[in-house]
Structure formats: structure tokens, C-alpha cells
């Protein structure tokens, strides 16, 4: 299977595992920042930013925009869709 790096996010990583984890984390944080800027330019206001998934807690310190970490966002959304479609 795919080996997932177990490193830590570091400002200046000194080993491969930390470098892979740091680079991936900073790349995702930068992509989120860029999309927030696009939404602000297009809509004129800052969007709500929700994060989910197992790595959300690891992303938190690298984010500069406010966000909400939601544990079960996908399942909550599926429940909402089912409730609207089938009542409940």
C-alpha cells in the first residue's frame, strides 16, 4: 500500500519525513488561501471555511484564515440530503 509520511510540520524540516509532511501541508494551506482570495474577489465577502478529514487537525496551525473543523461533514451532508429527500 501507499506509505503515508509520519513526519511533523516544521518551519525548516531536517529530515525527509518532516519535509514531505511540511511541504504537503503548506501546499494545501496555500491552495485554500488562494481559493478564499478568489471567492472574496468574486463575491465581495469572505466565505465560511470548513475543514474535515483525518488531517484537519494537522492543518490547523498552518492556516491563517478562520475555519471550522467539522468531524463528520460528509456524513452530516448525506443525512441532510436523505432527510430532505425522504423526510425526517
How many other CB atoms sit within 10 Å of the CB of residue 25?
A: 20
Give the range of the structural domain holding residue 50, as residue numbers without chain letter. Answer: 16-86
Cell numbers standing for residue 14: 531536517
Contact 73, 50 (CB under 8 A): yes
Location of C-alpha cell 432527510? 83
66 phi and psi, to 5 degrees? -65, 140
Please, which residues have CB within 8 angstroms of residue 67's CB and are 6 or more apart in sequence? 49, 50, 51, 60
Please report whether residue 61 resides in a domain: yes
- State the pTM of this model: 0.74
Please report whether residue 5 resides in a domain: no
Q: For 16-68, what is each residue's pLDDT tens digit?
A: 999 999 999 999 999 999 999 999 999 999 999 998 887 788 888 899 999 99
Q: How many domains does the chain have?
A: 1
Q: What is the rounded distance in angstroms from the CA atom of residue 56 to the CA atom of residue 54?
A: 6
54 SS3 class: coil
Please report whether residue 8 resides in a domain: no
Amino acid at each position: 500500500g501507499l506509505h503515508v509520511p509520519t513526519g511533523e510540520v516544521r518551519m525548516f524540516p531536517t529530515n525527509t519525513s518532516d519535509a514531505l509532511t511540511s511541504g504537503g501541508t503548506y501546499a494545501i494551506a496555500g491552495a485554500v488561501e488562494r481559493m478564499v482570495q478568489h471567492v472574496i474577489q468574486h463575491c465581495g465577502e469572505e466565505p465560511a471555511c470548513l475543514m474535515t478529514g483525518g488531517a484537519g487537525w494537522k492543518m490547523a496551525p498552518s492556516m491563517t484564515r478562520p475555519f471550522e473543523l467539522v468531524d463528520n461533514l460528509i456524513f452530516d451532508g448525506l443525512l441532510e440530503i436523505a432527510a430532505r429527500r425522504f423526510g425526517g
